[in-house]
Structure 1
């Protein structure tokens, strides 16, 4: 047996592999941590049967703020992956089983030669239009499918988890820092808490998106719940805007990526009026911008001058929200020039 993690976590992996039939009794395994997010232990486990990625949710997230979340969200993620695999199996990892007792699951270890982590890619390069449109098409398809499927409201009644993982740390925590914005932020938080329109992934961040060639693969759906589709769209577009602040030389391409995403996603948006959707999106987007500066999960790649630039853009847009994303892009273009 090879230990590259704490013995307790190693033993948990060993028991999970045995329970799922992914190793023979008494066979050796090796376990090593994988880099990733702040909310789970994510591990590579090698057994006599193959190589797997194993995931266990953490109660206390790995951030400087006090941020706790229920560990049963691991089950919501597994159900989200099962749902998407039924109609888009190439866009999620293959699943090998989950243990409720151990609070973890095993999935395919993705290690193709042409594998790209989108966060790493976007920090170094201009976004590829095909990547942006491919992801938007996938998110739109998931939202459209879920809007029409009965029974999901019961299966994904995870609003309390979404409150703990998204609404409180990203929105309600901002009110403490910006009390003058209590009304617009509080109203948006309440609207998100009450929405039950589509199945929301909840963390459509570039770090959770892999590309195998031109094919997007979505990971990390711990926040999955029935909710408002604008959250997934805003959460993703937010990263294009933040990276435009970080890299002015690529800003035009990143702002165009916002336009390409919305153009592609709009082709799937059939469950509600597009103008109403965009009004909500234009309200939420600057709030998420500010949240990644002064909320509980700030981005690590902006310096203080860039962080202040985000504040200067976001605060007026929250106080007096435009009705279109185009107006937000115009504000960004003016500031960057």
Structure 2
């Protein structure tokens, strides 16, 4: 979607044909009128392409039945419908927070959306890994996330498009927490209890993949991508999922460790100021308990983080295990323990 995610190669034939069919199905032109289809890289769960028709550039997306990871990880392709619904609803709650949806095709189980690209746009993950960002965007990301959660928890919110608990389990709690429990039998009761509690929650509208790889920054404001995990769930999942990436990058980038850990504080402070639907302390305790479990999941679950070397992976595993066994209940305690233990 962003220019940094582009692959200069043309799309493979099947993706090219699906994109042309999608344009035709949505009434934007005939298949022959599509000027170009260019594959976009960066995700493991979907085929994504930039499609140009009648001089306008769009982004096409189709969910994969089998994700591109080493382990066997499958998920229903109809999840793209939930993503469309999240992008549309979030954009109503916080204008500009998500790409504008052009249309969804039930027969093709894919959709077209705004092509968010240009010289003033960057991917948050890329900026942090390159050292161009030390997590300063954290508060900017957290504030609209709290707005979306507040709206999703409000009376009268239309929950119907987001009754996706089974899909969320297939895409999130099973491959992350339950798969990790299988590798750590002594931690299994704790990890399975966490997974069960997350699966049972229906508090608000959850994105499910609030990760720096899914957050573009456009003229100083975040744009959320990849909402195919969207469901009614526990808001603590979104918060823990995002700050976990800050913790992992703090492990990976010693020179930026302090500011990245400080970004975890900034994220929580910005987010907490928007909590209206429950006690902030209770939500904070769930976040602080869940983050170490997600940290371990990015080592031993079905979606291991790709940028850690073997020594750092082993060290992160050790830290995460200790935090799971003796769970913190505040972000301050969590980050203090990470600060003490991340330096070998």
1:77 to 83, 88, 91: 83
SS of corresponding position for 2:150: helix
d(CA) in 1 for partners of 2:212 and 2:48?
Answer: 17
2:292 to 275, 279, 286: 286
In the TM superposition, what are the counterparts of 1:172-251 in structure 2 within 5 Å? 172-251=178-257
Aligned counterpart, 1:106: 112
Unaligned runs of 5+ in 1: none
d(CA) in 1 for partners of 2:246 and 2:233?
Answer: 23
Aligned counterpart, 2:33: 27
2:135–2:259 contact (8 Å) kept in structure 1: no
Count of matched residue pairs: 335
How far does residue 91 in structure 1 lie from its aligned partner after superposition?
1.3
The structure-2 alpha-carbon separation of the partners of 1:8 and 1:124, relative to structure 1 and needing over 3 Å to count, comes to closer
TM-score computed with the length of structure 1 as normaliser: 0.96
Q: Which runs of 4+ in 1 moved over 6 A?
A: none
1:22–1:49 contact (8 Å) kept in structure 2: no
Do residues 309 (structure 1) and 315 (structure 2) align? yes
Aligned counterpart, 2:3: none
1:119 to 110, 115, 125: 125
d(CA) in 1 for partners of 2:244 and 2:134?
Answer: 17
How far does residue 330 in structure 1 lie from its aligned partner after superposition?
1.3
In the TM superposition, what are the counterparts of 1:133-172 in structure 2 within 5 Å? 133-172=139-178
1:133–1:261 contact (8 Å) kept in structure 2: yes
Do residues 277 (structure 1) and 272 (structure 2) align? no
Unaligned runs of 5+ in 2: 1-8
1:333 to 336, 339, 343: 339
2:24 to 7, 18, 21: 18
1:129–1:260 contact (8 Å) kept in structure 2: no
Do residues 258 (structure 1) and 270 (structure 2) align? no
1:33–1:43 contact (8 Å) kept in structure 2: yes
SS of corresponding position for 1:298: coil
d(CA) in 1 for partners of 2:127 and 2:281?
Answer: 32
SS of corresponding position for 2:103: strand
SS of corresponding position for 1:89: coil
Q: CA RMSD in A?
A: 1.5
1:152–1:226 contact (8 Å) kept in structure 2: no
2:10–2:38 contact (8 Å) kept in structure 1: yes
Cα-to-partner distance string for 1:288-334 (whole Å, 9 max, x where unaligned): 00001111001110001110111111001111212222222111111
Aligned counterpart, 1:54: 60
